[in-house]
Amino acid sequence: MVDVLENKRTATRFRILVEIADRQPAVSQGEIADAVGVTSQAVSEYIRALVEEGLVEKEGRSRYRVTKEGVDWLFQSASDVRRFADHVTDDVLGSVQEDAAIAETDIGEGDAVSLSLVDGLLHATPGEGGPATGVATTDATAGEVVGVTGFEGVIDLELGDVTVIQVPPVRSGDHRDAGELAAECEAADVVTADGVEAVVSLRDAGVTPATHFAAGEVAGEAASRGLDVVVVASADNVGRVTDALRDMGVSYEVDR
User: Fold for domain 3-91?
Assistant: Arc Repressor Mutant, subunit A (1.10.10)
With a cut of 60, say whether residue 193 has pLDDT above it. yes
Question: Contact at 8 Å (CB) between 224 and 121?
Answer: no
Backbone angles phi, psi at 236, to 5 degrees: -70, -25
pTM (2 d.p.): 0.56
Residue-wise pLDDT for 3-61, tens only, equals 677 778 888 989 999 999 998 888 899 999 999 999 999 999 999 999 999 999 998 88
Angstrom distance (rounded) from CA 202 to CA 26: 47
Residue-wise pLDDT for 217-248, tens only, equals 999 999 998 999 999 999 999 999 999 999 99
Give the residue from 170, 198, 197 showing the smallest Cα distance to 184.
198
pLDDT computed for residue 1 by the predictor: 47
Residue ranges per structural domain of the chain: 3-91, 99-153, 162-255
Amino acid symbol at 62: S
Helix (H) / strand (E) containing 103: strand 99-103
User: Fold for domain 162-255?
Assistant: Cobalt-precorrin-4 Transmethylase; domain 1 (3.40.1010)
pLDDT computed for residue 77 by the predictor: 87
